[in-house]
Structure 1
Amino acid sequence: MATSSSRASALALLLCALSASSFHVAISGPPAPSPGKDDFLSCLTKTVPPRLLFAKSSPAYGSVWSSTIRNLKFLSDKTVKPLYIITPTEPCHIQATVSCGRKHGMRLRVRSGGHDYEGLSYRSDKAEPFAVVDLSKMRQVRIDGKQATAWVDSGAQLGEIYYAVAKETPKLGFPAGVCATIGVGGHFSGGGFGMMLRKYGTAADLVIDAKVVDAEGRLLDRKAMGEDLFWAIRGGGGASFGIVVSWQVKLVPVPPTVTVFQIHKGVKDGAVDLVAKWQQVAPSLPEDLMIRILAMGQDALFEALFLGTCKDLVPLMNARFPELGMNQTHCNEMSWIQSVPYIPLGKTGTVKDLLNRTSNIRAFGKYKSDYVRDPIPRSVWEKIFTWLVKPGAGVMIMDPYGGKISSIADDATPFPHRQGMLFNIQYVNYWFGEGSGAQPNQWSRDMYAFMEPYVTKNPRQAYVNYRDMDLGVNQVVGDVSTYESGKVWGEKYFKGNFERLARTKAKVDPQDYFRNEQSIPPLLK
């Protein structure tokens, strides 16, 4: 029987599943013609080298398309795939793709890391001609240690940022997600948070400039795009307003030593009481300490990052959360950069793993999310743990808020889940094999229905980076997504910020060129 520790390690690998990333393979022979779409490809080849273009007839098309698909259910033959894949290496290639797409009626979807839970960055939910701009070849990270800033391409993955920052100086870090293979473009576009969220907020909170190709094919920086568009791209969801080529971010100070602990508690060890206590303690702890929970079956893993030493952490835990029983034996002291792979991979993780973009561990998955403002009663937690052992049951990952992320105004960026929020819940369902998805999907929806009385209301909030098409999809009328249909799901992700996002969309892309099933619709009235 697997131990709780080994199960947690396997889960972490699944959640951070890696796959092949970049290819340098040219088209073999002429691209396959698409009826009425030949002109798009002819237009592209005037600017973009043919070796960066992949049509369905290319021998490399399949491997390029599947290269960063993290959710195996979208590898199905039923998936609507792009007619073409463009793998730009320069901003001008993206500009040409947008200009040619507008001119010849080819819509675009944009993929950075491929972690989009619903796959909307590389597939469509309905039959329509489209192309994918795959940014995996644009992943430079340029560090300015003196200014404590970095320019990061959207095709870079989080592990590459962390590695580059630490290589420049051990005194700086960056607060973003736990999984190293997440692409920068989508992550920043949705807000982006990880183990330092309570100290420094979201990744988007630290974006100070960006370069965007807009719907007219112009390459704009912050000054040129204006503050409305700059506000919108920092948390308003990916691929609604243009293609963000690169981001300038402010780096943050990290101490020479941080401390990580991972403590397993089973239901028989009092996990129900501990989780009930955690939801009130964790959001009010000093912002240097983050304790999240991964609950699976009858086990709760309390996983923490403390920006300081064990000597300081133990008395803090004894004073604020003595019930957990944390002591010096639980401490794992290390540098900040060593803690980054340690969190998802455990003691076997190394700093070099942050640059590993490939792995054979992949799964099918369904994901949902919630936010909690008021403590959930202990009696409900007892019921939650019974849900976690039902057939097809998944995992609940709970991240506490409070600290910096909650001190920023809800409308400072489109990411609105801040003031008064206790914690976020992610419901993770994964399975293996094409035919085994019905039961896990049903558990996910039943669990979500059960939780409704205990989470946020009017609207019931969700995190856009945990994209969930069960919340609703856009309806298109006259070739433009309607505001009314977008509002159904949009207010769950963005609350009162959704209207401003839709007004900004109307200014920068009124014809709704950049769109998918959950893109921001233009508010045209």
Structure 2
Amino acid sequence: MNMCTPQGQRLAASNMSRSRAILRLLLALCILSCNTSISSSASTADAFLHCLAAAIPPHLLHTPPSPSYSPLLLSSARNLRFVTPGTPRPLAIVAAGEASHAQAAVRCGRLQGVRVRVRSGGHDYEGLSYLSLDPREPFALLDLAALRAVRVDPARAEAWVGSGATLGELYYAVAAASRALAFPAGVCPTVGVGGHLCGGGFGTLMRRYGLAADHVLDAVLVDASGRLLNRTTMGEDLFWAIRGGGGESFGVVLSWKLRLVRVPESVTVFTIRRSRNQSATHLIAKWQEIAPALPPDLYLRVVVHNQDAQFQSLFLGRCDRLVRLMRARFSDLGMVRADCEEITWIQSTVYFAFRSSSKPLELLLDRGTKPDSYVKAKSDYVQEAIPWHVWESTWTWLAKQEAGILILDPYGGGMGSVAPSATPFPHRKGNLYNLQYYSSWSENGTDAFDKHMAWVRGLYKQMEPYVSKNPRTGYVNYRDLDLGRNELGSNVTSYAKARVWGEKYFKGNFERLAAVKAMVDPGDFFRNEQSIPPLPAVKGWNSM
């Protein structure tokens, strides 16, 4: 029909009027829907807070209007990337003082449809223990920092430790009880015990004693129903899963019973620096096959920064023996007796954390302050020595203004003596070392962010041909959302999509983790962007 005729014009006017009416109706429906959504969200928050208030003392419950809210949220946030104004924040922070507070948070969350995220030390590289990347899903933060008691039984070589304790606090308490005991965990003293154990946890004693999670004897956990369980009542499948299966998937672990390990009263440390002009490339290339094959009592890692490589060692023995060992096994490094320092094990934790053994042990008790830097990290496992020419090419990357550091942690020894399925952590025999790409910067702004992120991702991409394959694996405690993430919009996380990142952390153990999840949390209450999903059709699945 010709719209220029009067009839056509009347029809057009009628259609336009009808279109405007439809548009007004849609707009009204949209406004109604939005208002309903906002009202529903506010109602959910109010009901959740009312539920919490009935079970938790007011001074332990912090909401956004409270002056204590922001300081508490930042108290264990370690990464400025996740404290920007646009980051979704929790509806409330529950500063748990006892088990019942954690139980109340879980029960109220289940009842009112509010997820609970759990923080011990806040070192999660992607901040998932205290934030959500999806603003549509309301969540609360359960902060365990007050659950930090450490009780050491030196006669039994055991300890109970709260998840909110830091590694430094654990080390300090163990050393105060006995000079002959230690615990094999990481080098950063402000890392929370709970998160560290949930991901496996390796450090300077791993070649002799394996992972931190290998020494867990018992645990106290709040499950998705709010029940308080121990190893006996949770069962061996769930106990297996929490010792390396990543945090915040199966429940809230409140405390851990640990088996302590024996160390000599004197250990030996050294740090030898070699620049690129002092054959650093040659030494790194050679280190790759030497370090994993050294005796289990000797740990020798490499930290590469700028144009230097630092070879840092802990030896469970005296200097004279170490000198003989190094001359026989790695003479090219040129280690001499003057490089040695004989100290106690607890002093060695200060040495690796603060680059000096003479600093006071009380530094281990410093939990840190609010975040002061932006961080991005990635990791790889290396199973065949990376060629010399590849290491030579990395100096160009390390010379850039935005360059971070590389950390090479040797495996072998006790790490290869445990079956890959003994815990969820699968990276045992066959791995020469773990390679971490770490960037930290303080400059604000998009340009700085883009440059530093590009450095980490660019070097990681360059190393792809020389690291583990099918899948290219990583360490779950070096959380990396570049590997993939869950979609949080649906009621239950997709197992198929989660496999994309899950098998990179857990390899063949991922399916078993998902099966445990389906048994203990089928509704997927405990979840985040990289939490374990329930395995579909788990009925009939048999544990190993």
- Would the aligned equivalents of 1:73 and 1:434 in 2 still touch at CA under 8 Å? no
Question: Counterparts of 1:512 and 1:350 in 2: how far apart (Å)?
Answer: 45
1:197 aligned residue: 206
CA RMSD of superposed structures (Å): 1.1
Q: Which amino acid aligns with 2:472?
A: R
Q: Deviations over 1:448-469 (max 9, x none)?
A: 1100000000010000000000
1:311-460 to structure 2, matched below 5 A, reads 311-347=320-356, 348-359=358-369, 362-435=372-445, 436-460=448-472
CA change 1:263–1:215 in 2 (3 A) is: same
2:146 aligned residue: 137
Whether 1:482 aligns to 2:502 is no
1:231-270 to structure 2, matched below 5 A, reads 231-270=240-279
Q: Which amino acid aligns with 2:94?
A: I
Question: Counterparts of 2:100 and 2:283 in 1: how far apart (Å)?
Answer: 54
Q: Deviations over 1:242-285 (max 9, x none)?
A: 00000001000010100110000001000000001100000000
Question: Counterparts of 2:301 and 2:455 in 1: how far apart (Å)?
Answer: 23
Secondary structure in 2 aligned to 1:246? strand
1:181 aligned residue: 190
1:12-51 to structure 2, matched below 5 A, reads 34-51=42-59
Question: Counterparts of 1:145 and 1:344 in 2: how far apart (Å)?
Answer: 25
Residue ranges of structure 2 left out of the alignment (5+ in a row)? 1-40, 538-544
1:284 aligned residue: 293
Q: Which amino acid aligns with 1:108?
A: V
Identify which of 209, 216, 241 aligns with 1:207: 216
Question: Counterparts of 1:191 and 1:34 in 2: how far apart (Å)?
Answer: 39
Question: Counterparts of 2:478 and 2:128 in 1: how far apart (Å)?
Answer: 12
What's the offset of the Cα at 1:475? Answer: 2.4
1:27 aligned residue: none
Secondary structure in 2 aligned to 1:466? coil
1:36-115 to structure 2, matched below 5 A, reads 36-115=44-123
Q: Tell which structure's C-alpha radius of gyration is larger.
A: 2
- Would the aligned equivalents of 2:199 and 2:243 in 1 still touch at CA under 8 Å? yes
Question: Counterparts of 1:488 and 1:360 in 2: how far apart (Å)?
Answer: 34
Q: Which amino acid aligns with 1:238?
A: G
TM-score by length of 2: 0.89
Q: Which amino acid aligns with 1:509?
A: D
Whether 1:503 aligns to 2:495 is no
Q: Which amino acid aligns with 1:149?
A: E
Identify which of 468, 471, 475 aligns with 2:483: 471
Aligned pair count reads 493
- Would the aligned equivalents of 1:391 and 1:439 in 2 still touch at CA under 8 Å? no
Percent identical among aligned pairs is 55
Q: Deviations over 1:268-313 (max 9, x none)?
A: 0000000011000000000000000000121000000001110111
What's the offset of the Cα at 1:162? Answer: 0.4
Q: Deviations over 1:446-496 (max 9, x none)?
A: 111100000000010000000000000012464110001110000000000
Secondary structure in 2 aligned to 1:38? helix
Question: Counterparts of 1:440 and 1:391 in 2: how far apart (Å)?
Answer: 9
Question: Counterparts of 2:50 and 2:339 in 1: how far apart (Å)?
Answer: 61
- Would the aligned equivalents of 2:76 and 2:369 in 1 still touch at CA under 8 Å? no
Secondary structure in 1 aligned to 2:355? helix
TM-score by length of 1: 0.93
What's the offset of the Cα at 1:221? Answer: 0.3
- Would the aligned equivalents of 1:34 and 1:83 in 2 still touch at CA under 8 Å? no
Residue ranges of structure 1 left out of the alignment (5+ in a row)? 1-32
What's the offset of the Cα at 1:414? Answer: 0.3
What's the offset of the Cα at 1:35? Answer: 3.4
Secondary structure in 2 aligned to 1:37? helix
- Would the aligned equivalents of 2:75 and 2:369 in 1 still touch at CA under 8 Å? no
What's the offset of the Cα at 1:46? Answer: 1.8
Q: Which amino acid aligns with 1:376?
A: I
1:139-154 to structure 2, matched below 5 A, reads 139-154=148-163
Q: Which amino acid aligns with 2:503?
A: E
Q: Deviations over 1:73-114 (max 9, x none)?
A: 211101111010000111011111111110111110000001
Question: Counterparts of 1:36 and 1:253 in 2: how far apart (Å)?
Answer: 52
Identify which of 118, 121, 132 aligns with 2:126: 118
1:159 aligned residue: 168
- Would the aligned equivalents of 2:74 and 2:370 in 1 still touch at CA under 8 Å? no
What's the offset of the Cα at 1:402? Answer: 0.2
Question: Counterparts of 2:371 and 2:283 in 1: how far apart (Å)?
Answer: 32
Q: Deviations over 1:347-403 (max 9, x none)?
A: 253211101113578311100000000011111111122221134211000000000
- Would the aligned equivalents of 2:79 and 2:371 in 1 still touch at CA under 8 Å? no
1:28 aligned residue: none
- Would the aligned equivalents of 1:87 and 1:137 in 2 still touch at CA under 8 Å? yes
Question: Counterparts of 1:278 and 1:285 in 2: how far apart (Å)?
Answer: 10
Q: Which amino acid aligns with 1:315?
A: R
Question: Counterparts of 1:391 and 1:357 in 2: how far apart (Å)?
Answer: 30
- Would the aligned equivalents of 2:134 and 2:488 in 1 still touch at CA under 8 Å? no
What's the offset of the Cα at 1:42? Answer: 1.4
1:10 aligned residue: none
2:283 aligned residue: 274
Question: Counterparts of 1:416 and 1:506 in 2: how far apart (Å)?
Answer: 21
Question: Counterparts of 1:430 and 1:343 in 2: how far apart (Å)?
Answer: 18
Whether 1:226 aligns to 2:235 is yes
